[in-house]
Amino acid sequence: MPTFPRYQIRRATATDASGCAAVNRESWHTTYRGLIDDAALQSMDPAVLQERWRNRLSPANSALFCFVATLQPDGDPAGDSAAAPLIVGYVMGGLSRHSDLPFSGELLAIYLLAEHQGKGLGRKLFLQCVQEFRQRAIDSFVLFVLKENHSARAFYSSFNPDFEDQGQVTIDGFTYQDIGYGWNDLRQFPTH
């Protein structure tokens, strides 16, 4: 009898810093290779990323929120495996950093390890972010994606954004074109 992966989405805690840092690094390497300068990818120091994630997930940093997608390791059907679930993705959001745009929230990052993409987890993480915006009384949000990241653009376009605009982002001294997508009314999204 085939077994199916058991995924769960839950609020991230400070103890998830190393798992989020690992997903951050690995997903950047698989997503952005060929889209951004290789030096930016090679300069992603795991220790620096872990410290950055410890700060992001600190209880003192309540302006940000993060949810992780985890995979329960193989074990018995009840999920009583002794091994801890593996973090395979995350979504992070907060207040918008762009006062020139009419959006109160911002989806800051959403990443999944490549082998866990195409299974509906990205959609679940996205909608979990929308749900958290609602709970925080944030009624609109924006996100940005590299213009050349066609798969991510198709993913975000599938949610029918109300706003689309081109801009630029600088990563390690190199400037790239990006696309901003925004949603004015969160009522268009299903609730859990």
Judge whether 151 and 117 are in contact, CB under 8 Å: no
Going by C-alpha positions, the residue among 59, 58, 56, 60 that lies closest to residue 90 is 56
Element (H, E) at 8: strand 6-11
pLDDT in tens, 68-88: 999 987 654 555 556 778 999
State the pLDDT at residue 81. 55
pLDDT in tens, 130-149: 999 999 999 999 999 999 99
Provide the 8-state DSSP code for 36: B
Residue spans of beta strands (DSSP E) within 55-192: 64-72, 86-95, 105-112, 141-146, 163-171, 174-183
> Could you tell me which residues come within 8 angstroms of residue 55 by beta carbon, excluding any fewer than 6 positions away?
61
The domain made up of 6-188 has a fold known as Aminopeptidase (3.40.630)
**CA atoms of 112 and 88, how far apart (whole Å):** 6
Both tokens assigned to 163: 């706003």
pLDDT at 175 over 60: yes
Task: Give the residue extent of every domain in the chain.
Answer: 6-188
> Could you tell me which residues come within 8 angstroms of residue 174 by beta carbon, excluding any fewer than 6 positions away?
36, 37, 40
pLDDT in tens, 2-22: 445 689 999 999 999 999 999
Q: Kindly report the pTM of this predicted structure.
A: 0.90
State the pLDDT at residue 78. 53
Query: Which ranges constitute the DSSP H helices of 43-149?
Result: 46-56, 121-135
State the pLDDT at residue 3. 47
Provide the 8-state DSSP code for 187: G
Going by C-alpha positions, the residue among 29, 105, 110, 20 that lies closest to residue 70 is 20
